[in-house]
């Protein structure tokens, strides 16, 4: 995993993708497992563990998204979409997919243009 | 940063005013939420200690974002938009070239012309698509 910590576009993209996947999964756990158990199971066990972990992972997700957006000169609107994608179940995966697709399309066109 | 600091930052442009407004609402909101979590934590909810520290980080993040937004180099952002536009044009251009032999023939009857117009309309709509719909 050498590129994960490298200061390249690939490293930045990989960090963002890893965090998008982590935060997306964490949010699904929280919303579809933790909260139903809290409401109907009257147990805070899952929420008490997953909640804070997810909260702090989301901070790392913010940093990763910010790093990618700055590095690739994304317009601020796209960064907002990336940030809010981490707050809505399932959306983090979709936005991550589209960001990767748009960067890959750009690479392909750069390769053919040069 | 040196080059950026040479540039004049527009503090009162419409987009900057929107950013000021967002930060002015968001930062106190984060601080209030953090303070609220701190009081909850003091009254015995251990979980809230973690959230009490998290909210101020959100506030700091939004200030960093605001600062970066104001100091964005418009040439860089504009340059990216231009490159994306060119790329979209070159992609749809390629597509039009590929299609052109069997697309838009000279001896079109009314039905075929309508159908080809429809295809052209579809191609036009593809071209207008941005990154969100790709």
- Beta carbons of B134 and A109 less than 8 Å apart: no
Q: From CA A61, how far away is CA B84, in angstroms rounded?
A: 26
Q: Which two tokens stand for residue B124?
A: 């036009």
pLDDT at B94 exceeding the cut of 60: no
- Regarding whether B109 and B91 lie in a shared domain, the answer is yes
Q: Which residues of chain A lie closer than 8 angstroms to B64, CB-CB?
A: 66
- Residue A14: what pLDDT? 93
- Residue A2: what pLDDT? 59
Q: How far apart are the first and last CA of chain A?
A: 29
Note whether residue A65 is domain-resident: yes
- Regarding whether B61 and B112 lie in a shared domain, the answer is no
pLDDT single digits (tens) A36-60: 898 898 888 888 888 889 989 999 9
Note whether residue A66 is domain-resident: yes
- Beta carbons of B54 and A75 less than 8 Å apart: no
Instruction: List the domain range (segments joined by +) for residue A29.
Output: 11-113
- Residue B105: what pLDDT? 61
- Residue A76 touches partner B, C-beta closer than 8 Å: yes
- Beta carbons of A109 and B91 less than 8 Å apart: yes
Helix, strand, coil in percent for chain B, rounding step 5: 80, 0, 20
- Residue B133: what pLDDT? 43
Q: Where are the beta strands (DSSP E) in B14-125?
A: none
Q: Which band of pLDDT confidence, cut at 50, 70 and 90, is reported for residue B103?
A: low
The residue among A15, A46, A52 whose CA lies nearest residue A33 is A46
Task: Check: CB of residue B27 under 8 Å from CB of residue B35.
Answer: no
Instruction: List the domain range (segments joined by +) for residue B93.
Output: 81-128
Distances (CA, A) of A111 to A81, B8, B24: 28, 35, 44
Distance from the A38 Cα atom to the nearest Cα atom in chain B, whole angstroms:
15
- Regarding whether B106 and B62 lie in a shared domain, the answer is no
pLDDT at B34 exceeding the cut of 80: yes
Q: Which band of pLDDT confidence, cut at 50, 70 and 90, is reported for residue B63?
A: very high
Note whether residue B133 is domain-resident: no
Distance from the A76 Cα atom to the nearest Cα atom in chain B, whole angstroms:
7
Q: Which band of pLDDT confidence, cut at 50, 70 and 90, is reported for residue B6?
A: low
Q: Which band of pLDDT confidence, cut at 50, 70 and 90, is reported for residue A31?
A: very high
How large is the average pLDDT for residues B10-38? Answer: 90
- Regarding whether B41 and B11 lie in a shared domain, the answer is yes
- Beta carbons of A66 and B84 less than 8 Å apart: no
- Beta carbons of A75 and B80 less than 8 Å apart: yes
Task: Check: CB of residue A73 under 8 Å from CB of residue B77.
Answer: yes
Residue listed under structure tokens 């960090």: A15
How open is the CA angle B37-B38-B43, to the nearest 5 degrees?
Answer: 95
Note whether residue A95 is domain-resident: yes
Q: Which residues of chain B lie closer than 8 angstroms to A78, CB-CB?
A: 131
Top-confidence residue, B113 or B91: B113
User: Which among B47, B57, B131 has CB closest to A102?
Assistant: B131
- Residue B92: what pLDDT? 62
Q: Percentage of chain B with pLDDT > 70? A: 63
pLDDT at B96 exceeding the cut of 60: no
Note whether residue A4 is domain-resident: no
Q: From CA A5, how far away is CA A69, in angstroms rounded?
A: 17
Q: From CA B131, how far away is CA B134, in angstroms rounded?
A: 5
Q: Which two tokens stand for residue B30?
A: 């984060």
């Amino acid at each position: 995993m050498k590129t994960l910590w490298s200061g390249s576009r690939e490293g930045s993209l990989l960090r963002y993708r890893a965090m998008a996947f982590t935060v997306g999964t964490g949010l699904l756990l929280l919303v579809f497992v933790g909260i139903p158990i809290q409401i109907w199971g009257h147990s805070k066990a899952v929420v008490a563990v997953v909640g804070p972990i997810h909260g702090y992972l989301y901070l790392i997700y913010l940093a990763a998204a910010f790093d990618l957006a700055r590095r690739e000169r994304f317009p601020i609107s796209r960064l907002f979409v990336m940030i809010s994608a981490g707050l809505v179940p399932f959306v983090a995966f979709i936005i991550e997919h589209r960001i990767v697709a748009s960067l890959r399309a750009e690479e392909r066109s750069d390769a053919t243009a040069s | 940063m040196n080059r950026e600091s040479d540039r004049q930052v527009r503090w009162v442009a419409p987009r900057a005013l929107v950013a000021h407004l967002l930060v002015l609402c968001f930062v106190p909101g984060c601080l209030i939420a953090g303070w609220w979590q701190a009081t909850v934590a003091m009254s015995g909810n251990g979980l809230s200690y973690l959230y009490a520290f998290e909210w101020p980080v959100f506030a700091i993040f939004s200030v960093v974002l605001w600062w970066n937004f104001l100091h964005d180099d418009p040439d860089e952002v504009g340059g990216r938009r231009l490159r994306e536009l060119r790329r979209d044009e070159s992609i749809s251009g390629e597509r039009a070239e590929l299609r052109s032999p069997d697309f838009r023939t000279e001896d079109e009857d009314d039905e075929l012309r309508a159908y080809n117009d429809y295809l052209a309309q579809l191609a036009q709509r593809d071209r207008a698509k941005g990154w969100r719909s790709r």
